[in-house]
Amino acid sequence: METILATKWLVASGCFAIFLSSLLGVVMLIPLQKPRQPTGTGVNFKQIGAAHIDWIMLGLMSTAAGGLIYLFDLTLPFYVIGFMIFGAWINPLSYVWRAFGINAFQFAGGPRQRLASFLSGFSSVAIILAWGVIFYSLFGSLGLRL
């Protein structure tokens, strides 16, 4: 993928993730307002908070990847950019599912839990593969051989 296009996709995706996570942060304030009454929603807001932080961190990660690609003028296959964006958006969903009682951190249980767990694991692998290809290309552009 062309360097500038890859950079645009990663930076735009990362900034959009940070923006949406900021909106999620505002929504998380609602159950904290007084008077304190039981909401009865059954939602674990600590897990929503973890997703909020994760989307910010992975948004920053996507933006940093875009910066490296731009600064070192890396030309990468389309799938690398796709893996990075996919992983950055899907990985925090593990916490969202957990907030609603589906443990995506354990491959067990019914079909929904197994799907959530699979997507969680695959998104982590996608991010690691994308970073691996980025660093392999980066070291190659610097004349270093691995």
| Alpha helix (H) residue ranges in the chain | 3-28, 45-71, 78-90, 93-99, 111-141
Q: What is the pTM of this model?
A: 0.87
pLDDT at 116: 92
Residue type, 107: F
Mean pLDDT in residue range 65-75: 95
Q: What is the pLDDT of residue 35?
A: 62
Q: Is the pLDDT of residue 33 over 80?
A: no
The answer on pLDDT for 39 being more than 60 is no
pLDDT at position 27, please? Answer: 83
**Residues 30, 117: Cα–Cα separation, whole Å:** 29
Indicate whether 65 pLDDT > 90: yes
DSSP state of 50: H
Token pair in block for residue 31: 């159950």
Structure tokens at 64: 């940093």
Q: Give the model's confidence band at 121: pLDDT under 50 very low, under 70 low, under 90 confident, else very high.
A: very high
How many CB atoms within 10 Å of residue 4?
Answer: 12
As a whole number, mean pLDDT of residues 81-108 equals 93
Phi, psi (degrees; rounded to nearest 5) at 54: -65, -40
- 110, 115, 120, 121 alpha-carbon torsion, rounded to 10°: 90
Q: To 5 degrees, how large is the angle CA 85–CA 54–CA 32?
A: 135
Mean pLDDT value across residues 63-82: 95
State the chain's mean pLDDT as an integer: 90
